């Protein structure tokens, strides 16, 4: 898709360049590259169906909101195809993948890493957790699931987050404590 846009724009400007006997060739090429980058950025921005969630609430809820938002945006028509095209074009046009990373990937990862780090600070996640690794694992699971099945279940955000950040333990009616009540409490 992006390659097609590049080629179409280049053909038009090559005809102009040929008609002008090469007098404006370099300038035209520079303008073509700028136009193509602008078109690519517009395509990249179109992948965002929903804005990033507001940065408020408990850390786990914020992480979950980021992952739900990611699922909604990833399932937009042709999102995975655009990602594949950007990767395929990385060597010829690294600026396109750089724009994608800057406009979509980095803000999402930063929001998720922040929520994970807040979970560590609040004691909900272990101090030994690595927010960057956890963010990669969580986000990567969406890509892996889509590639394996062409689908991402509605509850995928909840299911994946629960693997690294369990729901808050429920209070038991017998002891009033959180977590495992133990055999003594269950015998009552």
91: closest CA among 29, 27, 3? 3
Return the HEC string of 114-172.
Answer: HHHHHHHHCCCCCCCCCHHHHHHHHHHHHHHHHHHHCCCCCCHHHHHHHHHCCCCCCEC
Query: Which pLDDT does position 38 carry in this prediction?
Result: 66
- φ/ψ (deg, to 5) at 171: -75, 140
| Backbone torsions φ then ψ of 178, nearest 5 degrees | -90, 160
**Helix (H, G, I), strand (E, B), or coil: what is residue 178?**
strand
Do 125 and 119 contact (CB within 8 A), yes or no?
yes
Return the bridge partners of 178, or none: 171
**What's domain 53-167's superfamily in CATH?**
Tetracycline Repressor, domain 2 (1.10.357.10)
Per-residue pLDDT at 168: 62
Residue by residue, DSSP assigns 50-116 as SPPPPS-S-HHHHHHHHHHHHHHHHTSTTHHHHHHHHHHTTTT-HHHHHHHIIIIIHHHHHHHHHHH
pLDDT of residue 34: 63
What ranges do the domains of the chain cover? 1-46, 53-167
Task: Give the pLDDT confidence score for residue 116 in this predicted structure.
Answer: 97
Render each residue's pLDDT in the chain as its tens digit; 188 residues: 555 555 655 565 565 555 555 555 555 556 656 666 666 666 666 555 556 666 678 999 999 999 999 999 888 888 888 888 889 988 888 888 888 898 888 999 999 999 999 999 999 999 999 999 999 999 999 999 999 999 999 999 999 999 999 986 554 455 444 444 444 433 43
8 Å CB contact between 86 and 100: yes
């Amino acid at each position: 898709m992006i390659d097609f846009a590049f080629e179409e724009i280049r053909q038009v400007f090559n005809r102009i360049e040929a008609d002008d006997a090469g007098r404006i060739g370099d300038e035209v090429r520079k303008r073509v590259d700028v136009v193509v980058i602008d078109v690519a950025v517009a395509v990249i921005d179109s992948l965002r169906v929903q804005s990033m969630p507001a940065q408020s609430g408990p850390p786990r809820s914020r992480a979950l909101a980021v992952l739900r938002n990611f699922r909604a945006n990833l399932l937009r028509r042709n999102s995975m195809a655009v990602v594949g095209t950007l990767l395929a074009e990385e060597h010829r046009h690294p600026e396109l993948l750089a724009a994608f990373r800057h406009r979509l990937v980095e803000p999402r990862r930063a929001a998720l890493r922040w929520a994970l780090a807040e979970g560590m600070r609040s004691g909900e996640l272990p101090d030994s957790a690595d927010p960057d690794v956890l963010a990669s694992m969580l986000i990567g699971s969406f890509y892996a699931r889509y590639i394996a099945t062409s689908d991402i279940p509605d509850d995928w955000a909840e299911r994946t987050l629960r693997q690294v950040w369990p729901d808050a333990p429920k209070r038991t009616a017998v002891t009033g404590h959180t977590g495992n009540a133990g055999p003594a409490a269950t015998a009552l």
